[in-house]
Amino acid sequence: LRFRPILMTTVCAIFGAVPLAAPAVFGTGDGAELRQPLGIAVVGGLILSQLLTLYTTPVVYVLMDRMRTATLLGGARWFAAKARPVLPTPAASALPSVSL
């Protein structure tokens, strides 16, 4: 659903930064070799952020869908696939005492 616009934006930004990253091929002006590390960092950061975005976007949509479903059903368990029974907790007197 959101794959194409995210991918198109990142690819355009990477193509814009390629002349910085590869001055031997595209940019041969004065000081081009000084801007090469900047171009490599920009292209690498765009690729990493693209991978992270493509991973986190579906996760956020799934969590939002689960929250919506939980609020429609009146439950507060957002992350549980099925409602689990609540186990009773032991009384405070039944717990062993620890002396320091």
Q: Report how far apart, in Å, the C-alpha atoms of 17 and of each of 4, 7, 13, 43 are.
A: 20, 15, 6, 6
Query: What is the model's pLDDT at position 95?
Result: 58
Q: What predicted TM-score, i.e. pTM, was given to this entire model?
A: 0.56
Query: What is the model's pLDDT at position 4?
Result: 86
pLDDT digits over 68-91, tens only?
Answer: 887 776 655 545 555 556 666 666
Q: What are the residue ranges in the chain where pLDDT is below 70?
A: 1, 23-28, 73-100
Which tokens in the block code for residue 72? 């429609």
Helices (H), 22-83: 32-73
Whether residue 83 contacts residue 75, with contact meaning beta carbons closer than 8 Å, is answered with yes
